[in-house]
């Protein structure tokens, strides 16, 4: 069956169309993405403004037209931290549903971590043993660890690259004092969950699954996306620390000129490096493997599991 997965995140509305069958590898068929920047459409109380509401509605309506043109039998829609944390988020989604027909489910941070973990487990398989999975989104950092398909621990921290940039890293580039303050904040937050993540054992494999980590890996020399999803890619903590120092001195335009860094992600790359450096250091990770599957694929796989169970 052809499924569409509609992901309403902090930065984009992303429709992924896949041909998916129970017991088979979901095959990407089409991708449609619209810039959203929802975090920039919040008022002083954190509520989504009328302009943000209108932008979201138009992006969702456009994505649904694409899904229809691509022959999707079903569209699985979900929203993450930007909607989850807005005081009027649920009301906005209700209006979007009434006007477009899109039923967008709000995922908790823990659900994001669990579904991403499922996707990573299916990608790397049982031979990877105990997994530790890190995912740096626009609004939050998800951490999950475990031996099975359901992680033993699934955590979400408000340390997304977009959020950190917006709240603590003004300027282009931000001042050294701002970078140091952001680094202190991130490390203090990550330190609070280290024991919960590590108490049940050391991982056999550590995996990063987000666009932020993929971009950092590419900047550090990993193969480009043109070489395909099955090409191994990794990111070393030493490279993250080295590039963190460089990124802190670069303007947004200079970051956008780096390999694998889109203009949309350039502003957030420094914040992503700060979060990655803290998480890898405090969790004792020297290197992680990059997984091409993440939350969207986890949503697809869970849906296929439900179909099979029925």
Q: What are the average pLDDT values for consecutive 10-residue runs of the chain, which has 310 residues? A: 93 93 89 88 91 94 98 95 92 95 94 98 97 95 97 97 94 98 98 95 96 96 94 98 98 97 92 98 98 96 84
DSSP per residue, 217-249: HHHTTPPPGGG-TTS--EEEHHHHHHHHHHHTT
* C-alpha span between 86 and 130 (Å, rounded): 35
What pLDDT is attached to residue 38?
82
Residue for token pair 């460089």: 246
Q: What is the CATH number of domain 125-294?
A: 3.30.420.150
Ranges of CATH 3.30.420.40 domains, the chain = 2-106
Both structure tokens of 269: 């790359």
What pLDDT is attached to residue 22?
82
pTM of the predicted model as reported, rounded to 2 decimal places: 0.95
Residue for token pair 């129970």: 22
What pLDDT is attached to residue 266?
96
Q: Give the CATH fold of the 2-106 domain.
A: Nucleotidyltransferase; domain 5 (3.30.420)
Strands (E) in the chain, as ranges, are: 2-8, 12-19, 27-35, 74-79, 104-106, 131-136, 141-146, 153-157, 205-208, 234-236, 287-290
Task: Determine the distance from the C-alpha atom of residue 289 to the mean position of all C-alpha atoms in its chain, rounded to a whole number.
Answer: 15
What pLDDT is attached to residue 310?
60
What pLDDT is attached to residue 134?
98
* C-alpha span between 106 and 122 (Å, rounded): 23
Both structure tokens of 8: 């309403």
What pLDDT is attached to residue 309?
72
């Amino acid at each position: 069956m052809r499924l569409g997965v509609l992901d309403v995140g902090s930065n984009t509305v992303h429709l992924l169309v896949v041909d998916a069958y129970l017991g088979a590898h979901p095959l990407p068929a089409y991708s449609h993405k619209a810039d959203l920047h929802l975090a920039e459409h919040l008022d002083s109380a954190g509520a989504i403004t009328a302009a943000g509401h209108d932008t979201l509605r138009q992006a969702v309506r456009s994505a649904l037209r694409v899904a229809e043109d691509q022959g999707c039998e079903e569209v699985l829609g979900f929203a993450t931290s930007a909607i989850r944390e807005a005081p009027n988020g649920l009301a906005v989604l209700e209006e979007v549903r009434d006007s477009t027909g899109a039923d967008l489910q709000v995922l908790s941070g823990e659900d994001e971590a669990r579904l991403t973990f499922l996707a990573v487990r299916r990608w790397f398989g049982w031979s990877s043993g105990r997994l530790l999975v890190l995912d740096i989104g626009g609004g939050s950092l998800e951490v999950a660890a475990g031996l099975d398909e359901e992680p033993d621990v699934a955590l979400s921290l408000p340390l997304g690259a977009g959020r950190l940039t917006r709240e603590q890293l003004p300027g282009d580039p931000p001042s050294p004092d701002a970078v140091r303050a952001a680094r202190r904040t991130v490390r203090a937050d990550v330190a609070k969950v280290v024991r919960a993540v590590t108490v049940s054992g050391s991982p056999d494999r550590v995996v990063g699954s987000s666009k932020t980590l993929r971009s950092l890996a590419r900047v550090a020399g990993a193969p480009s996306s043109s070489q395909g999803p099955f090409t191994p890619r990794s990111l070393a903590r030493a490279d993250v620390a080295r590039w963190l120092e460089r990124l802190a001195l670069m303007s947004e335009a200079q970051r956008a000129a780096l390999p694998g860094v889109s203009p949309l992600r350039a502003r957030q790359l420094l914040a992503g490096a700060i979060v990655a450096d803290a998480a890898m250091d405090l969790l004792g990770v020297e290197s992680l493997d990059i997984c091409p599957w993440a939350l969207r694929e986890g949503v697809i796989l869970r849906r296929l599991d439900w179909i099979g169970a029925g």
